[in-house]
Amino acid sequence: MKNLFITILFSIAFGHLYSQCVQCVGTTTTGTSASAIGTNTVASGNSAFASGFGAQATYQYTTAIGFYSFATQTQAVSIGSMVKATFDRAMVLGSGGDYGTDLYLINPYPRSLMIGFSSINPTLFVSESPINAYYDRTGSVGIGNVTEPTAKLHIKADDNEDASLKLETTGEGYFSRLIFTNAHSIEAKNQDHLYFNTAQGKDFVFHQGDIYLDDIQSGIIMKSPNGLCWRGTLNNDGQLTFVQITCPEETSTTVQTSVEPAKLRLYPNPTSGKLIVETNITGNQAALILRSIEGKIVLQEAVSGNLTEVNLNHISSGIYLMQLVQNDKVIADEKVVVE
């Protein structure tokens, strides 16, 4: 009798230690350490969590929160209304169609984030980082139902819609600016000129195609060495004539500097011991980091001038990644084969 009483107390006290249901109506929790909150929610995976109305977390370590939100693969996360995350570590946030339409916003892509509202297509998609990239790479971003971005930022318009990117300043006197490699830029101010800037000593290069001016009153303005400006226009006989004009007001504040990209050269490669590292980056906390294919740091050495000799005699045979790091950022890398 005493043992039976102890068993009943133990069951009451610890019966929900690994599975719980809070204010549940039609709620099911069958996974170990699973939790369910709300109405008609299901947490059937180990360590799964479901909350809301009709939410289902049906695989281990999944999370489903909202109105008919489904997470059906390992570590998947689904938050919102009429949404589904159906691949490992996929995440979806937002809302699909109305209840009863079977129009879900579904993310079937591994290790990615999908966001959209009142649509079966995502407005924003963040892809996974490259596979086997030592965990120091980043993924790509798609805007406008792009789930396989072909650029770091890939923007796609819907049908019968322009694909546009707008840079808008707040207040007067500020530039909207696109900067390329810290050296070239395109910029404009409200009610001002459009400026194209190149790095010092670099030219504007047009590959194929013509430069077309469709107005005879428009032409080419050039400033002569004495500071005067001249506009060259074409007459009806195909002759280019120049007339002196007042120079356009120049208000661009961009200061261009020539920035040489980081270079990293390794030799001999493959190597059986000694490795010469050639780079154009020195000082300013520049360092070399050698990583295994698992991403583990196996060697770290400061950059000593443009040529740095690295001893790899103690490194096991295999494929490694040599990284050039400056100010805690990877600015170049190359694979190394150790024989």
Q: For residue range 73-103, what is the model confidence (pLDDT) as tens digits?
A: 999 999 999 999 999 999 999 999 998 889 9
- In this structure, whether the domain defined by 264-338 belongs to CATH 3.30.160.270 is answered with no
Q: For residues 77 and 91, give the distance between their C-alpha atoms in angstroms, rounded to a whole number.
A: 5
User: At 12, which helix (H) or strand (E)?
Assistant: helix 2-14
Query: Residue ranges of the domains in the chain?
Result: 15-155, 167-200, 215-247, 264-338
pLDDT band, residue 21 (cuts 50/70/90): low
Structure tokens at 58: 């049906």
Structure tokens at 259: 């920035």
For residue 280, the model assigns a pLDDT of: 81
H helices present in 15-163, as ranges: none
For residue 8, the model assigns a pLDDT of: 40
Q: For residue range 156-190, what is the model confidence (pLDDT) as tens digits?
A: 999 999 999 999 988 778 889 998 887 789 998 88
For residue 250, the model assigns a pLDDT of: 63
For residue 252, the model assigns a pLDDT of: 52
Neighbouring residues of 275: CB distance < 8 A, sequence distance ≥ 6:
266, 267, 268, 269, 309, 310, 311, 312, 322, 336
Total length of the chain: 339
Q: For residue range 122-156, what is the model confidence (pLDDT) as tens digits?
A: 999 999 988 765 677 899 999 999 999 999 999 99
For residue 323, the model assigns a pLDDT of: 86
This prediction's pTM: 0.66
Name the residue with higher pLDDT: 84 or 330: 84
Q: For residue range 243-293, what is the model confidence (pLDDT) as tens digits?
A: 888 887 765 554 444 445 677 889 898 988 889 998 887 556 688 889 887
Q: For residue range 208-248, what is the model confidence (pLDDT) as tens digits?
A: 888 888 776 678 888 888 788 888 888 778 888 888 888 87
For residue 285, the model assigns a pLDDT of: 65
Query: What is the Cα 43 distance to its own chain's centre?
Result: 32
For residue 190, the model assigns a pLDDT of: 83
CB-based burial, 139-163: b 16+ in 10 Å, e otherwise: bbbbbbebeebeeeebeeeeeeeee
With pLDDT > 70 as the criterion, what percentage of the chain qualifies?
Answer: 87
